[in-house]
Amino acid sequence: MRVVLQRSKEASVTVGGEITGRIQSGFVLLVGITHEDTEEDARYLADKIVNVRVFEDEEGKMNHSLLDVEGEILSVSQFTLYGDCRKGRRPNFMDAAKPQQARPLYEYFNEVLKEKGVKVETGVFGEMMDVDLINDGPVTLIVESK
């Protein structure tokens, strides 16, 4: 699994003109799943994400986690994270898991995040989405399970 994590002051996702998820301070997660990913990968990433220390303490140092600041998550499925652009001009998405494999793992990942005590909002799997966010910092990380 591959996740692009963006620290955000606020964010929302809209599908077909309707807001399907909205958060205040926390993380926007763009979540990509490949063929080899398992529930173990999802659990590993969920734990890593809620505990990564990228929120400032009283001295301005990145010392607090999402759990520490009671932040929220906007999780958006993103198969294009496994696009391969090395050949030609059109990305190859062969490394992205097919929807029938990716959807259950994406949903499981979001459930694990919720079990850790985090409010999780989402887009709609497999749909065209408009993601609106105010990136805080900006702080952007790529987190992978492999």
Give the active site residue among 80, 93, 122, 140.
80
The residue segments making up the domain with residue 83 are 2-137
User: Is residue 92 a part of any domain in this protein?
Assistant: yes
Q: Which residues of 61-97 are buried (b: 16+ CB within 10 A; e: fewer)?
A: eeeeebeeeebbbbbbbbbebbeeeeeeeeeeeebbb
Question: Which DSSP symbol is given to 58?
Answer: T
Residue 33 half-sphere exposure toward CB, CA atoms < 13 A:
26
Q: What is the pLDDT of residues 102-120, one digit of tens each?
A: 999 999 999 999 999 999 9
Domain count, the chain: 1
Judge whether 78 counts as a catalytic residue: yes
pTM above 0.85, yes or no: yes
Tokens standing for 142?
Answer: 């790529």
The active-site residue, picked from 6, 34, 78, 122, is 78
Question: What span, in angstroms and rounded, lies between the C-alpha atoms of 144 and 146?
Answer: 6
Catalytic residue among 27, 79, 109, 122: 79
What is the per-residue pLDDT for 146? 81
Burial of residue 36 (CB within 10 Å: 0-12, 13-18, 19+) is: exposed
- Residues 66-91: what's their mean pLDDT? 96
Does any domain span residue 98?
Answer: yes
Residues 4-48 have pLDDT tens digits of 999 999 999 999 999 999 999 999 999 999 999 999 999 999 999
Write the CATH number for 12: 3.50.80.10
Residue 142 lies in a domain: no
Q: Please say if 79 is a catalytic residue.
A: yes
143 in a domain, yes or no? Answer: no
